[in-house]
Structure 1
């Protein structure tokens, strides 16, 4: 077995020239098994404190052992990150074979190979939702849930709440009970996280009622204010009643997370990756989770989710067959998928790993959510996208709500933004 190597994306041109020269017949050897010709696959990946060099090397090692003519070279983008490295590498003619962690978008899509001929790609997590113009340009390992409310079980018990809320009205009532019991009802904060709670209030119902809401509001067919307005009004009401801390705008994300973990607040809207933080905490509160509720009783709300670890093949690759074989392994092999899910706290129905009780609650939500019920959040993905800048504007306007701006003014500002940017 040839051990995978880690290369930085900075200064790779000379190395890449040597690598490409060594696989000049890659089109013939690209099946990864019918030729003794050595194939070198360069994979640009997200390297983090969790996704370390050792993790990536160990992950691809079994694949290399079974495909001895394929050498997988892991490329580290360094401080600039994958999203910044890819345009530069494409422009320099030094693109990798595979890119990990970037969801296809309008700018990147023309550079990617259509994987539609592979059943494993078409049947993967969120595959249809991320498709563009009928093309499947990536394959992922699982999902990151986003329309979630984590809650302090001790707080709920002290407030006399025996069941988690399933409607927005029930949630509002529970927030009042928590405040009366002496708890800070909602953990909020500044920075990018400000709009997390508002999105969890709005999107599940909006998208369940209109699956094409992203396209319709972006084209001007549907009014943002009329569809999102009720959630904005509810959130403003929560602020007025003191359910949101008055100093929330000054609270940084790490501090907000720690406050909830340590049991200082009752409810925290955040993505499923919070499970990883809770698992590492040495003295965590007793925490559970429920999906964002529907507006009307009996309705099944959609679930905001993003793809976990998407892999795509660059059209510039001379090793596309071998690349597809590696991605198939990374996204379908039981151990490879489970290892990737566990390391970053992601989920996939049918794939289990050693989980905390909170992780098991999240996995149950995944198992109970049909693929058709998943929705983008923020700026969207695939063919369900918002005009550029939407996420930032929504965050700014949510912070205005937290500062006391009336809901009507925020709705008017958002509608004006869409008038200027949609169409």
Structure 2
């Protein structure tokens, strides 16, 4: 995804180690690293451990870490990577609209040789590798390696166990049971869903509803341009109309249209909403932040296809002056030690080791992702296919919340830029 904007407002610079300088300075004693994971997230904890291990195994080399906001990097990466201000290594969003676009523009180093020589192609499963490789059009799934996945993720349903128990509600296993639970909260005067409509995950909910009527061929035609896409087919129509119905039924409150992802998460942590549909990247934050109630999660009910993929990618700018150091750091993040640390902090590893987690909740998290992979159910994110599609989807879905457009009009709105991008790529 795209999907994650946990640190969208964090634009200040934090130097964890080392001295200043940019990639353009060609300082062989400094690795300049950017990522946008919050310090208390599973990934933030793991990457801090990786920095310590890197410095311990590279005497005389310091890591200059700069914390960037997700949307800050997403909006400025093409300009920054084409300048002397580029880092040696950065975390970047996966998919055609982001890593694929930069690869097509020649701004990213080709990592194929390193992937083979260092065994990344053996450590990462075929499904995870989909987001690492891009063809000459910048379309994911084949071609050269331009990024290396460092964790996995999927969208799940977080819920307030105490609130469910107070109304005698069981964990839903079907979509009908899920909507019945939300009806019970509405009847009690509570808006069930915490939803960020100004960023994510409103459009992800619409997409997940569509996925309940979709299969792998449908996903590949949409995400990888393997065939024609009809935005008014059964799946897309069901997703948009059902989302609009959920708004009308009070499952999604009108305040959601202006709510950002951070505000959504904080509201759920504070117990203001009993349900939040969002990614596994929130788990560490919820684990440390929720003090007043018991909480849990369950997979989206009644759908074999689900939103998920590898997590974000490590990418190396073509202009990096310290590529070998960058490759070494990537290696460390894929080591069993760091992947286990990520797992134990509540993340989903992409290169799991032989040991098992001791926390049952973490085991469940990994098992749910493994089930998605085993069922060939990873369906990526709705905004991936085309550059700028994230903003288009956010705006379109907001209109369903405010009543500013009908489901058909919303689908027309997202169909137009998709068709234009497909034409640009040559079909």
TM-score (norm 2): 0.74
Match of 1:379 in 2: 383
Match of 2:330 in 1: 327
Matched, 1:400 2:403: no
Change (3 A) 1:273 1:151: same
Mapping of 1:12-411 within 5 angstroms? 13=24, 16-17=25-26, 19=27, 40=29, 42-46=31-35, 50=39, 59-68=50-59, 71-76=61-66, 87=78, 90-92=81-83, 95-101=86-92, 103=94, 104-108=99-103, 110=106, 111-115=108-112, 116-118=115-117, 120-122=119-121, 123-124=123-124, 126-133=128-135, 134-146=143-155, 148-166=156-174, 168-193=175-200, 194-203=202-211, 205-215=213-223, 221-226=228-233, 227-294=235-302, 300-308=304-312, 310-317=313-320, 320-321=323-324, 323-331=326-334, 333-340=335-342, 345-348=346-349, 350=352, 358-370=361-373, 372-380=376-384, 385=385, 387-404=386-403, 405-411=405-411
Give 1:201 shift: 2.1
Aligned to 1:346, the other structure's residue is in SS state: coil
Give 1:130 shift: 2.8
State whether residues 112 and 314 of structure 1, in contact with CA within 8 Å, keep that contact through their aligned partners in structure 2: yes
Change (3 A) 1:93 1:154: closer
State whether residues 77 and 85 of structure 1, in contact with CA within 8 Å, keep that contact through their aligned partners in structure 2: no
Change (3 A) 1:355 1:214: farther
Change (3 A) 1:337 1:54: closer
Cα distance in 2 for residues equivalent to 1:46 and 1:5: 15
Aligned to 2:305, the other structure's residue is in SS state: coil
Cα distance in 1 for residues equivalent to 2:295 and 2:422: 40
Aligned to 1:74, the other structure's residue is in SS state: strand
Give 1:56 shift: 5.9
Give 1:223 shift: 0.8
Number of residue pairs matched? 382
State whether residues 46 and 342 of structure 2, in contact with CA within 8 Å, keep that contact through their aligned partners in structure 1: no
Cα distance in 2 for residues equivalent to 1:62 and 1:183: 48
Give 1:86 shift: 5.7
State whether residues 41 and 72 of structure 1, in contact with CA within 8 Å, keep that contact through their aligned partners in structure 2: yes
Q: Any stretches of 5+ residues in structure 2 without a counterpart?
A: 1-15, 136-142
Give 1:200 shift: 2.8
Aligned to 1:105, the other structure's residue is in SS state: helix
From 14, 18, 26, the equivalent of 1:6 is: 18
Give 1:137 shift: 2.1
Aligned to 1:161, the other structure's residue is in SS state: coil
Aligned to 1:106, the other structure's residue is in SS state: helix
Change (3 A) 1:201 1:324: same
Task: Please provide the CA RMSD for this pair.
Answer: 3.8
Give 1:399 shift: 1.4
Aligned to 1:184, the other structure's residue is in SS state: coil
Cα distance in 1 for residues equivalent to 2:181 and 2:90: 45
Change (3 A) 1:219 1:208: closer
Describe the superposition over 1:150-201 as per-residue Cα deviations: whole angstroms up to 9, x where unpaired. 12223333444324233x3442333223333554222224311232322332
Give 1:230 shift: 0.7
Change (3 A) 1:336 1:251: closer
State whether residues 211 and 306 of structure 2, in contact with CA within 8 Å, keep that contact through their aligned partners in structure 1: yes
Cα distance in 1 for residues equivalent to 2:401 and 2:294: 28
Cα distance in 2 for residues equivalent to 1:77 and 1:247: 30
Change (3 A) 1:8 1:231: farther
Change (3 A) 1:325 1:173: same
State whether residues 165 and 293 of structure 1, in contact with CA within 8 Å, keep that contact through their aligned partners in structure 2: yes
Q: Any stretches of 5+ residues in structure 1 without a counterpart?
A: 21-39
Cα distance in 1 for residues equivalent to 2:324 and 2:110: 11
Change (3 A) 1:51 1:312: farther
Aligned to 2:153, the other structure's residue is in SS state: strand
Cα distance in 1 for residues equivalent to 2:48 and 2:274: 41
State whether residues 82 and 102 of structure 1, in contact with CA within 8 Å, keep that contact through their aligned partners in structure 2: no
State whether residues 45 and 101 of structure 1, in contact with CA within 8 Å, keep that contact through their aligned partners in structure 2: no
State whether residues 114 and 135 of structure 1, in contact with CA within 8 Å, keep that contact through their aligned partners in structure 2: yes
Cα distance in 1 for residues equivalent to 2:249 and 2:56: 61
Change (3 A) 1:200 1:159: farther
Give 1:272 shift: 1.3
State whether residues 197 and 397 of structure 2, in contact with CA within 8 Å, keep that contact through their aligned partners in structure 1: no
